Amino acid sequence: MRGNALQFDAPDRMISKQKASSALYTPEERVRRDSTRWTLVQGLLAPFQFVVFLVSIGLVLRSLATGEGMFAADVSVLVKTLTLYTIMVTGSIWEKVVFGKWLFAPAFFWEDVVSMLVLALHTAYLVMLFGDYGSFEQRMSVALAGYAAYVINAAQFLLKLRAARLQAEHERLAA
C-alpha cells in the first residue's frame, strides 16, 4: 500500500498509513501534551506507583515465603491498587486533553488495553480481600498476576516515552 492508503489501527477505526507510520504526536497534540498540568501529574505518579510496586512486591513475596506479614502485604497491595486507580483516572483525563478521547486514543490504544487487564486483576484482588473470597495465597496470586501485567504495561509506556523522545530529537535535528 502506498501514500494515504487506509489501514486499521484498532477495531472499527481506519487511519491513513501515512499517519500510522508517522509521529506519535501531531504538532497540536504535542502542544496540548506540553501545556497541560496532567502531563506533570502523570510524570510524578508513574515513578511513585513504581516505588509502591517495589515495596509491595517485596512484602507480598516475603509473606508468601515466610507466612509472616500478611496484613502488611494486604495493605501494600491495597495502596498499590489505589495508586493504580489514581493514575488511571488522571491518565484518562490526560488522554482526553491531549487526544480528545478519554481512553483508547490510537497512539495509546494497546497501552490502554493492557491497562484494563491490570485494573481488572487489581479489582479482582479487592473483591477477594473485601468479600473474603479465597485464601491469602490465592489473593496474593491474583495480586502477583496484576503486578506481572503492570510490569508489561509499564514497559509499554516506557517504550512510548522513548518513542516520544526520539520523535522530538528527530524534529529538533530536522529543524
Walk along the chain (175 residues) in steps of 10 and give the mean pLDDT of each run.
41 41 81 94 95 98 96 98 97 96 93 96 98 96 98 93 85 81
The total of structural domains in the chain comes to 1
Please indicate, yes or no, if residue 79 is contained in any of the structural domains: yes
In a domain, 3, yes or no: no
Per-residue pLDDT, 22: 59
- Residue 7 domain-assigned? no
Q: What are the cell numbers at 62?
A: 516475603
Residue at 12 is within a domain: no
Angle at 103 (CA atoms; ends 98, 104), nearest 5 degrees: 100
Instruction: Tell whether the torsion through CA atoms of 120, 122, 127 and 132 is positive or negative.
Output: positive
Residue 20 maps to a domain: no
One-letter amino acid of 145? A
What is the span of the domain harbouring residue 37?
A: 26-174
The single-letter DSSP state of residue 108 is G
Say if 124 falls within a structural domain. yes
pTM for the whole thing? 0.81
Give the cell for residue 49. 506507583
Q: Is 17 contained in some domain? A: no
